Structure 1
Amino acid sequence: MKVFTLLLAMAFSVIARSQNTINNYQYVLVPERFEMFKQENQYGMNTLAKSLLEGVGFKAYMADEQLPADLASNKCNALKAELVEKKKFLSTGLILVLKDCQGNVVYQSEEGKSREKEWQLAYNEALRNAVGFLSKAQYKYDGSAPAAATATTTNTPAVVMTAATPATVTDSKDVLYAQANANGYQLIDTSPRKVMSLLKTSQVDSFIADDGVARGIVFKKGGEWYFEYYQDEKLVSKKLNIKF
């Protein structure tokens, strides 16, 4: 049971990294100068990036602009725009990267290309094409708080589960089907609807779990799967019917 302490202490930072999508964010911060250039707003790229991102649906702000109160108090409510240049002999290539406040890549476009010979025309066209791929992602702010912002502003103590901790045990007979992904599994019901995320750990048959309401651990004991978490300072243990 001691392993639960370490797993839950890790849970919030890992979940924050894995669950963020562009739809969690309504704001994007655009720097005054992209790293690939020597001057601020060189070739008008920064103001163009701001305009294009607003065209997609984001609320974009430059570093020197007055920010909304919720963004000014917590920069983790915004993504940061970066550009990566792909060196080519006969064309200019740019990739748009959107990162959260922890430096994690939330979105990366395909390469926007231009064969214009004049630098400003080439960079502007490549940027427009890169943002064009973002348009195809059908961005729409879903009104939820970014996981990175929640993890940064909320000081949640690590939960210590011991054998002596009393637990409320419930039994869920609904079948949940495990679908593998890059970080572990997602559990879906027969709808099909996603009901829980499972993140791999170093322990066999133990996962960091999040059902959208509670965060805890899913583990196997005695041939049965259990989801354990704390609710109102009480340990809750729920038996799950998982099909891997």
Structure 2
Amino acid sequence: MKRYLFIILLAISSAVQAQSNTANYKYIIVPEKFSFLKQVNQYGLNTLVKALFEEKGFTVYFDNTELPQEIATDRCKTLTVELQEKNSMFVTNLTLLLKDCKGTIVVKSKEGKSREKEYNTSYNMALRDAFTSFNDFNYAADQPTVATSTVPANTNTETKTVPVIVDQTTATKTGHETLLYAQAINNGYQLIDATPKIVMTLLKTSMEDCYISNKGNANGIVIKKNGNWFFEYYKNDVLVAEKLSIKF
């Protein structure tokens, strides 16, 4: 019992320490190509990393774009993303690191895993699995907070809306479903609401009108049936079909 209590207290302490370490950062730099890959934005991983951190409130730039003067002259105001691969014969393993300007690891995710055979799907699923380390972190303006978690992974930033091109600028609903706008990315689409905010990411599969997707902690597929789009996933061992309104 004492051993379990110690582990819980250690996890809480680690989470608070990670929050403290990231409290002064609101910018993240994502490389255009990760070191273990051969091509720029291969498998759409760099784009996906950028989108995921933007969802958490960070202001994110690729390292090959022009940076604002504030951080161009002082990179110590930024955190840089590093993605590490440690694959076995049948499993893709990815770990996300956030490093400061001195190369010190500020936050390290859990090791995300996927057993999918197709590279695009496997790498994207492993990355999303690694990013679940950030699920319990919430940010409110001027009040970064972190929920108790056994994984020391957090993000802290000043809230800032990242400009996203959408077809409309006001919230639109069709029935009870919020209208989402599909914005093309490598290997699929990201679904944007009228805020604009990235709500979901759709990853292509070998089947037409069928995408791998997730929404919060729910992982499943987005599929078109009888002219309508549905997000299907399991909740408490029960299959849930959530109707979506998507404009491509």
Higher helix share: 1
Greater Rg over alpha carbons, structure: 1
Of structures 1 and 2, the one scoring higher in RCO (CA 8 A, sep 6+) is 1
